Amino acid sequence: MSEHGVAFAGVPPVFDDRTRDACVVVPGIMGSVLEDTATGRPLWGADLSMLTGALSGETLFAALHADEREQAADADTARRAPLTRIRATGLLAKPWWLPVFQGLDPYSEATKALQGVTLAPEAVAPFPYDWRLAVAYNGALLARRARAHLEWWRERVAAVPGWRAAGAARPRLVFVAHSMGGLVVRAALEQDPELAADTRAVVTVGTPFLGSAKSVLALNLLHTRAKPERLVQRVQAMAATLPGVHDLLPGYRCLDRGLEVDRLVAADVARFGGDRDLAARSLAERARHRGSGFVLPGHRAVVGEAQPTVQTLEEQRAGLPVVAGRHHAFDIGDDGDLVRDPATGIPARRDASGDGTVHLPSARTDTEAVHYVFGQHGTLMCHDEVLRQIRRIALERPQGTDLGDGTGDGPGLETPHLGGTLGQPLTLTATGLDTPAGVSLSVRSATTGRPGHPLTLRRDLDRTDGSLSAYFTADAPDLYRVTLDTGRHTPLTQLILVTPPNA
């Protein structure tokens, strides 16, 4: 007999372990395919020859420069009259790479992971966006898109009897966001409190809530006189016009002046190669967030650790305004002041590590629900442990024990952040390992899958941290995937672009 007094004959239904909620995948900077709206010409994420060709990238990068209207676009612009010169057509579907920002893997694995735990694949909606533009602008577009997706999905669930029976609660939203995508989600939910109330969880993967010092290095490329020269010039010239890049500026104390550590101001950014007005707007927004008290609903942060990560900046005062990245941060006391050595007064420096792009304090701020993995920033969204966490959070399972503890005690991978030139050896470094025994380092083409030869790791006598290094010389211009496998952890991967001389 059932509790309603009606005899039940047969086998009770057993439902698959799936969530009734709708999911939205939000990529990071560089993570959306862009095209010219008027001509349909691909501008980003379609063909790697855009980057490897010696001359083909010149008009491409010029087309990606933000014009005055695009630079001024904000949330009100998105709600009144969205910009149409360039459109985002989908999430990145193939590996990509840029100097400083380095490699970025596609989002297909994360999308599939969510589709495997939802009632139907269409419950998962991608949100491609024009990452060149301001976070606030894209946040307003996301709020509209997410609301439409949720309402449509609720109607679908209500129309299918088996789905209605799978649970009584109305479907809500789960956001899975990588890198800058987490900032876009925060902007969307802060702008739309009703949407925030309809959100069950926000999973951020490597999101720089406090910014990333690497953004300054990208703006400073011309002053470094780095190689390959043409590609670097194009990237810096483009980055200097983009609100999206400036929205990644670090808002924490990152400018190491010896006995003092300062926050960036707009004049610093302009001196280092950025745009003063874009910097002023972005840094003001950082300051507003510090005092806003806004908290992402159901926030879970997945954070990469143990990777050599630029955390602060030091200005080189000889000649051109060059900044160098440093692999340390500074301790801040409960009173908000720098922690100093009592004897010398020198600020306490500490290697907080990170995912190679975002240091730990920036990625894990504003939440105690943190899941640590040993992984590189651009490849986190295809990292097996990250995909497992995404599935578990979508299903609302208990979180269990994290893979890491935030101490940085694990393997790390370091590759040249400006890429390489054909014929020149590249130094690939494994950190956090006591011995090369049982460890493999390999390189293969990320575009064709063509394998390369295994590399031999040896103790790097030029470094004092006990790192292991190997050398790789490419035989063709290509995007290469470097894989470090310790046999005890999920393999670490990073992408690196090798271009012809003077490309």
Share of the chain above pLDDT 90, in %: 65
Q: How far is residue 394's CA from residue 203's CA, in Å, rounded to a whole number?
A: 9
Share of the chain above pLDDT 70, in %: 89
Residue 337 phi/psi, 5-degree rounding, is -95, 160
Residue span of the structural domain in which 304 resides: 15-410
3-state secondary structure of 169: coil
- Please give the pLDDT value at position 401: 38
- Please give the pLDDT value at position 225: 59
Structure tokens given for 4: 């309603």
For 1-12, how does the pLDDT look when each residue is reduced to its tens digit (9 = 90+)?
A: 444 455 556 665
In DSSP terms, which residues pair with 282 in a beta bridge? none
Contact assessment for residue 249 and residue 269, using Cβ atoms and an 8 Å cutoff: yes
Q: Please work out, in degrees rounded to the nearest 5, the angle formed at the alpha carbon of residue 102 by the alpha carbons of 91 and 381.
A: 45
Query: Can you tell me the mean pLDDT for 170-175?
Result: 95
More confident residue, 45 or 279: 279
3-state DSSP helix/strand/coil % of the chain, to nearest 5: 30, 25, 45
Query: Can you tell me the mean pLDDT for 198-202?
Result: 97
Residue 426 phi/psi, 5-degree rounding, is -105, 135
Q: Residues of 372-398 as b/e, b for ≥16 C-beta within 10 angstroms?
A: bbbbbbbbbbbbebbbebbbbbbeeee
For 443-457, how does the pLDDT look when each residue is reduced to its tens digit (9 = 90+)?
A: 999 988 888 778 888
What's this model's pTM, rounded to 2 decimal places?
0.90
- Please give the pLDDT value at position 59: 75
Q: How far is residue 266's CA from residue 187's CA, in Å, rounded to a whole number?
A: 22
The pairing of beta strand 458-459 with beta strand 468-472: antiparallel
Structure tokens given for 344: 């010398």
Q: How many domains does the chain have?
A: 1
- pLDDT band of residue 400 (cuts 50, 70, 90) is very low
> Does some domain include residue 351?
yes
Helix-then-strand count for the chain, H and E: 17, 25
> Does some domain include residue 312?
yes
Query: Can you tell me the mean pLDDT for 12-20?
Result: 69
> Does some domain include residue 429?
no
Q: Using the predicted structure, report yes or no on whether residue 146 has a pLDDT greater than 70.
A: yes
> Does some domain include residue 282?
yes
Which of 115-124, 237-246, 291-300 has the weakest average pLDDT? 291-300
| Type of residue at 149 | H
Sort 152 into a burial class: Cβ within 10 Å, 0-12 / 13-18 / 19+. Answer: middle
- pLDDT band of residue 165 (cuts 50, 70, 90) is low
Q: How many CA atoms lie within 13 A of 261 on its CB side?
A: 25
Which ranges in 315-453 belong to alpha helices (H)?
Answer: 360-363, 384-394
For 414-423, how does the pLDDT look when each residue is reduced to its tens digit (9 = 90+)?
A: 999 888 888 8
Q: How far is residue 89's CA from residue 381's CA, in Å, rounded to a whole number?
A: 20
- pLDDT band of residue 403 (cuts 50, 70, 90) is very low
- Please give the pLDDT value at position 308: 94
- For the chain, the average pLDDT equals 88
> Does some domain include residue 362?
yes
Contact assessment for residue 26 and residue 184, using Cβ atoms and an 8 Å cutoff: yes
Q: How far is residue 352's CA from residue 372's CA, in Å, rounded to a whole number?
A: 13
Greatest mean pLDDT range, 127-131, 160-164, 221-225, 474-478: 127-131
Q: Residues of 268-277 as b/e, b for ≥16 C-beta within 10 angstroms?
A: bbbbbbbbee
Q: How far is residue 412's CA from residue 431's CA, in Å, rounded to a whole number?
A: 5
| Type of residue at 26 | V
- Please give the pLDDT value at position 192: 97
> Does some domain include residue 275?
yes
> Does some domain include residue 67?
yes
> Does some domain include residue 19?
yes
Q: Using the predicted structure, report yes or no on whether residue 55 has a pLDDT greater than 50.
A: no
Q: How far is residue 172's CA from residue 19's CA, in Å, rounded to a whole number?
A: 10
Contacts 24+ apart (CB under 8 A), 111-116: 111/25, 113/387, 113/390, 113/391, 114/23, 114/25, 114/174, 114/176, 114/390, 114/391, 114/394, 116/391
Q: Using the predicted structure, report yes or no on whether residue 238 has a pLDDT greater than 50.
A: yes
Which of 23-27, 243-247, 360-364 has the weakest average pLDDT? 360-364
HEC-encoded secondary structure of 204-264: EECCCCCCCCHHHHHHCHHHHCCCCHHHHHHHHHHHCCCHHHHCCCCCCCCEECCCCEECC
Q: How many Å is the Cα radius of gyration of the chain?
A: 23
Q: How far is residue 379's CA from residue 178's CA, in Å, rounded to a whole number?
A: 10
- Please give the pLDDT value at position 232: 84
More confident residue, 417 or 390: 390
Domain CATH number, residue 51 = 3.40.50
Sort 5 into a burial class: Cβ within 10 Å, 0-12 / 13-18 / 19+. Answer: exposed
More confident residue, 223 or 331: 331
- Please give the pLDDT value at position 399: 42
- Please give the pLDDT value at position 319: 58
Contact assessment for residue 218 and residue 100, using Cβ atoms and an 8 Å cutoff: yes
58 CA to centre of own chain: 26
Per-residue CA distances from 244 to 109, 238, 299 (Å): 25, 11, 23
- Please give the pLDDT value at position 307: 96
Q: Using the predicted structure, report yes or no on whether residue 56 has a pLDDT greater than 60.
A: no
Q: Using the predicted structure, report yes or no on whether residue 384 has a pLDDT greater than 80.
A: yes
Q: Using the predicted structure, report yes or no on whether residue 402 has a pLDDT greater than 50.
A: no
- What are the DSSP E strand ranges found in 260-337? 261-262, 299-305, 312-316, 322-326, 329-330
Q: Using the predicted structure, report yes or no on whether residue 224 has a pLDDT greater than 80.
A: no
Neighbours of 151 (CB within 10 A): 13
